[in-house]
């Protein structure tokens, strides 16, 4: 992961969400308000120009993304399902009494920014690499910050999440918390992923949930992105955001148990979407 520049993959997810807003049928899947909020954050952060956003909204861009599905089948629409899955989980756990939401590797995700005013009694935290977090913070400030949204710039490969959050004046490690790790785990080493789940258990109270997406390990031991895995992995490596880890879905329950979590396999939406899998666990 390059340290000096804002994340390209976070930018791509944001632009994808804008394009999905123009794809017929996606309005039934995408969370309400996400497309407009993503457009605003991308522009206010200086991550994308008004022109890029206008082009992303066009049917031409939708067709282009659909065409690219030859390389990662189903991945374009999967971003809509991913956002819907994570937000549904967050809302459900807030309804059940969670007092904190933590979005890891947040990129230009707008969940915290949209939900913070709706749930003033809940504290929303985001952590991302400093280069991306600083840019996002600029956008959030320009659009109007939220009193209960805290953006933290840290490289989780350099500093432990436990240390980052324990040093934060608002973090309550005994509170029921929802942690979202969307499109993040594959960019961390296997050891860092294990450590992240262990730390997540250590900094959250009973009733917490972790919502995550991951890539499955293929028969050859590499992260499986389908038929064109070699090409996909090469592109990601060339853009200096390589996928570093994956797990076999059948090994997930055991991995979660070892790290202090209980897998919730029956949860609606878990399983494969595009080249990713969605998962959720509780403690």
Ligand X SMILES: C[S@@+](CC[C@H](N)C(=O)[O-])C[C@H]1O[C@@H](n2cnc3c(N)ncnc32)[C@H](O)[C@@H]1O
| Contact footprint for ligand X (CB under 6 A) | 1, 7, 9-10, 13, 105-107, 109, 127-129, 132, 155-157, 182-184, 187
State the SS3 of 164-216.
HHHCCCCCCCCCCEEEEECCCHHHCCHHHHHHHHHHHHHCCCCCCEEEEEECE
Q: Is the CB of 2 or the CB of 54 nearer to ligand X?
A: 2
Listed in sequence order, the residues at least 6 apart from 54 whose beta carbon sits closer than 8 Å to its beta carbon are none
32 or 257: whose CB is closer to ligand X? 32
Smallest separation, CB 216 to ligand X (Å): 17
Q: Say how far apart CA 277 and CA 265 lie, in whole Å.
A: 12
Contacts with 63 (C-beta within 8 Å, 6 or more apart), sequence order:
none
- Cα 126 from Cα 136, distance rounded (Å): 10
Beta bridge partners of 277: 214, 272
Q: How far is the CB of 13 from ligand X (least distance, A)?
A: 4
Is residue 108 a contact partner of residue 38, using CB atoms and an 8 Å limit?
yes
Q: How many other CB atoms are found less than 10 A from the CB of residue 243?
A: 20
- What DSSP letter does each residue of 243-269 carry, written as one string? ----B-GGGHHHHHHHTT-EE-TTSTT
Least distance between ligand X and beta carbon 206 (Å): 26
Whether 127 contacts 159, CB under 8 Å: no
Query: Closest separation between CB of residue 188 and ligand X, Å?
Result: 6
Comparing CB distances to ligand X, the nearer of 23 and 135 is 135
**Beta carbon nearer to ligand X, 97 or 271:** 271
What are 87's two structure tokens? Answer: 């937000």
CA distance 123 to 177: 9
Q: At closest approach, how far in Å is the CB of 35 from ligand X? A: 13
Spatial distance between the Cα atoms of 40 and 38, rounded to a whole number of angstroms: 5
Widest Cα–Cα separation across the chain: 49
**Closer residue to ligand X (CB): 1 or 98:** 1
Whole-number minimum distance, CB 229 to ligand X, in Å? Answer: 17
Least separation in angstroms between residue 63's CB and ligand X is 22
Least Å distance between CB 181 and ligand X? 8
Pick between residue 156 and residue 175 the one whose CB is nearest to ligand X.
Answer: 156
Nearer CB in complex with ligand X: 10/20: 10
Q: Which is nearer to ligand X, 155 or 195 (CB)?
A: 155
């Amino acid at each position: 992961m390059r340290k000096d520049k804002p994340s390209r993959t976070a930018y791509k997810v944001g632009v994808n969400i804008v394009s999905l807003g123009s794809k017929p049928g996606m309005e039934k899947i995408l969370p309400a308000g996400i497309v407009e909020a993503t457009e605003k954050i991308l522009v206010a952060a200086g991550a994308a120009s008004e022109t890029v956003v206008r082009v992303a909204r066009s049917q031409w861009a939708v067709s282009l993304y659909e065409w690219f599905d030859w390389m990662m089948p189903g991945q374009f629409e999967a971003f809509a399902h991913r956002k819907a899955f994570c937000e549904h989980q967050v809302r459900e756990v807030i309804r059940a009494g969670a007092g904190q939401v933590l979005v890891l590797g947040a990129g230009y995700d707008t969940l915290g920014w949209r939900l913070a005013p709706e749930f003033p009694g809940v504290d929303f935290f985001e952590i991302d690499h400093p280069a991306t977090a600083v840019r996002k913070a600029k956008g959030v400030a320009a659009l109007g910050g939220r009193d209960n949204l805290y953006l933290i710039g840290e490289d989780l490969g350099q500093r432990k999440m436990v240390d980052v959050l324990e040093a934060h004046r608002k973090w309550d490690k005994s509170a029921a918390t929802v942690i979202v790790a969307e499109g993040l785990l594959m960019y961390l080493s296997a050891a860092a992923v294990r450590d992240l789940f262990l730390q997540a258990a250590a900094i959250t109270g009973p009733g917490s949930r972790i919502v995550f997406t991951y890539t499955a390990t293929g028969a050859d031991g590499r992260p499986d992105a389908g038929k064109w895995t070699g090409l996909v992995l090469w592109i990601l490596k060339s853009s200096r955001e390589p996928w570093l880890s994956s797990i076999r879905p059948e090994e997930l329950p055991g991995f979660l148990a070892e790290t202090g979590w209980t897998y919730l396999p029956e949860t609606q939406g878990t399983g494969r979407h595009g080249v990713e899998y969605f998962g959720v666990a509780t403690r």
